Amino acid sequence: MPIPTAPITQLPVNKLDKHIAKNAAWATDFEADQRGLLEKLAKGQQPQLLWFGCSDSRVPESIVLDSKTPGEIFVHRNIANTFSGADDSCHSVLEYGVGHLDIKHVVVVGHTACGGCAAAFKSDPPTSKIEKSSNPDSPLINFLQPLIKLRHSLPDRSTLDDLIVANVKRGVDEICQTEVIKKNWKATEDSDELPVQVHGWMYNLSTGRLQDLGMTRSA
């Protein structure tokens, strides 16, 4: 395919070019180290972990898990690692990951100082007006409503970390109540196949460490 030559004057082309150049160097090195693996991965994937995390740039799953090989982690990330009953995007990732890729470990990963949780933490209580009418100018505010509700369901003395943990727990609970997980647990009742496990973790931005929050659930 010919490389486009027309300049895109609105964008800082030189700054973006560095990413393309870095990718080319990575692809060359990777192929030299793991000859044929990219070609093999092009035919299919068998990831072992489904990661539901925050979009925050400081919590990139491949880096914090030291996963240097494509194909190891199936991923969904959004604001404040929110698994919502009304969101087809996260449900479709779960359905494909568990139902078609046969992933056995699903993990919801919160992180310290999460901006989405902080916004909900500082928010006023939701009003029936907000619940009934979405805000067309701010999908972000709409998206945060369940988190705002969760924040105001916690005791007044709760901290931001309490909300972050509660949000992970809610994600784990929501995932466990989905049809795809219930179906997996039923199907594995009388078989040798291991049931899916759903875990809750917390990533600490300051230390780079992941903590298992001890809320793993399975059949």
SS3 75: strand
- 164 is written with which tokens? 């972050």
197 with 106: CB under 8 angstroms? yes
114 forms part of the interface with Zn ion (CB under 5 A): yes
117 is in an annotated binding site: no
Our CA dihedral for 106, 111, 115, 117, rounded to 10 degrees, sits at 70
User: To the nearest whole angstrom, how small is the minimum distance from the Cβ of residue 147 to Zn ion?
Assistant: 11
User: To the nearest whole angstrom, how small is the minimum distance from the Cβ of residue 156 to Zn ion?
Assistant: 23
Q: Which of 56, 105, 117, 199 is catalytic?
A: 56
Q: Is 176 a catalytic residue?
A: no
| CA gap 80, 107 in Å, rounded | 14
Site string (60-99) toward Zn ion, x via CB under 5 A: ----------------------------------------
Q: Is 54 a catalytic residue?
A: yes
Q: Is 58 a catalytic residue?
A: yes
137 is in an annotated binding site: no
**Segment interacting with Zn ion (CB under 5 A) among 6-14, 51-59, 175-183, 196-204:** 51-59
- When binding is defined by CB under 5 A, the residue of 49, 50, 54, 175 that contacts Zn ion is 54
- 22 is written with which tokens? 């870095």
User: To the nearest whole angstrom, how small is the minimum distance from the Cβ of residue 110 to Zn ion?
Assistant: 7
Q: Is 117 a catalytic residue?
A: no
SS3 180: helix
Q: Is 111 a catalytic residue?
A: yes
111 with 59: CB under 8 angstroms? yes
- When binding is defined by CB under 5 A, the residue of 47, 50, 56, 91 that contacts Zn ion is 56
144 forms part of the interface with Zn ion (CB under 5 A): no
176 contacts: CB under 8 Å, gap ≥ 6:
198, 217
User: To the nearest whole angstrom, how small is the minimum distance from the Cβ of residue 60 to Zn ion?
Assistant: 12
Task: Say if strands 49-54 and 73-78 run parallel, antiparallel, or are unpaired.
Answer: parallel
Q: Which helix (H) or strand (E) holds 175?
A: helix 160-176
Which residues belong to the active site? 54, 56, 58, 111, 114
Interface positions with Zn ion (CB under 5 A): 54, 56, 114
